[in-house]
């Protein structure tokens, strides 16, 4: 499977701008807007690749039915998902599936999507989000992200 370690943590927050400011002040993190990936789930998203943090908040008007609303209602703000970097997301998911985990969402971006939405930072971006909350206490994502080589 080729485990690479923690890629990033996903934190559920109520106010995205306030949380971005907090982590920018605390860590010097630089956030990239990523709403395009969260829009189908009713969430606004910001990612700080330099800090390994992804923030998710309900979109305005979707506070009651966004993908993060149940988490915020029952647990408050906090770590929603830990994204583990792997060499091959599909193989890592096969392993997890054989252990009884199912996929709740997967992303496999084309280079065109990476270039358009992620400033062309990566050569590969493939993720599987698993139903691990009950057994791990948080979500688990298996993530294969390869950065572009700097010239």
**Where do the domains of the chain lie?**
3-147
Q: Which residue shows structure tokens 């982590």?
A: 23
Written as six digits, the tokens of 138 are 């948080």
Distances (CA, A) of 119 to 27, 89, 114, 147: 22, 22, 7, 11
Highest mean pLDDT among 8-12, 114-118, 134-138, 145-149: 8-12
Note the pTM of the prediction, 2 decimals. 0.92
Which residue has better confidence, 148 or 90?
Answer: 90
Written as six digits, the tokens of 2 are 């080729």
pLDDT at 151 over 70: no
Rounded Cα gap, residues 148 and 103, in angstroms = 27
Report the length, in residues, of the chain: 151
DSSP 8-state secondary structure symbol assigned to residue 138: S
- pLDDT, tens digit, for every residue of 130-141? 999 999 999 999
- pLDDT, tens digit, for every residue of 14-61? 999 999 999 999 999 999 988 888 888 999 999 999 999 999 999 999
Bridge partners (DSSP) of residue 79 are 11
- pLDDT, tens digit, for every residue of 98-118? 999 999 999 999 999 888 888
Cα-to-chain-centroid distance, residue 70: 17
- pLDDT, tens digit, for every residue of 56-92? 999 999 989 999 999 999 999 999 999 999 999 999 9
Rounded Cα gap, residues 45 and 33, in angstroms = 6
What is the topology classification, in CATH, of domain 3-147?
Answer: 2,3-Dihydroxybiphenyl 1,2-Dioxygenase; domain 1 (3.10.180)
């Amino acid at each position: 499977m080729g485990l690479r370690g923690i890629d990033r943590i996903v934190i559920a927050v109520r106010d995205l701008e306030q949380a971005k400011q907090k982590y920018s002040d605390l860590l010097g993190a630089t956030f990239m807007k990523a709403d395009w990936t969260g829009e189908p789930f009713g969430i606004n998203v910001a990612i700080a690749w330099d800090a390994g943090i992804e923030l998710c908040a309900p979109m305005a008007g979707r506070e009651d039915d966004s993908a993060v609303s149940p988490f915020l209602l029952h647990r408050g703000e906090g770590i929603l998902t830990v994204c583990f970097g792997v060499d091959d997301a599909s193989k890592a998911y096969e392993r997890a599936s054989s252990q009884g985990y199912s996929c709740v969402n997967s992303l496999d971006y084309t280079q065109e999507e990476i270039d358009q939405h992620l400033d062309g930072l990566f050569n590969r971006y493939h993720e599987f989000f698993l139903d691990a909350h009950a057994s791990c206490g948080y979500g688990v994502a298996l993530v294969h992200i390869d950065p572009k080589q700097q010239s």
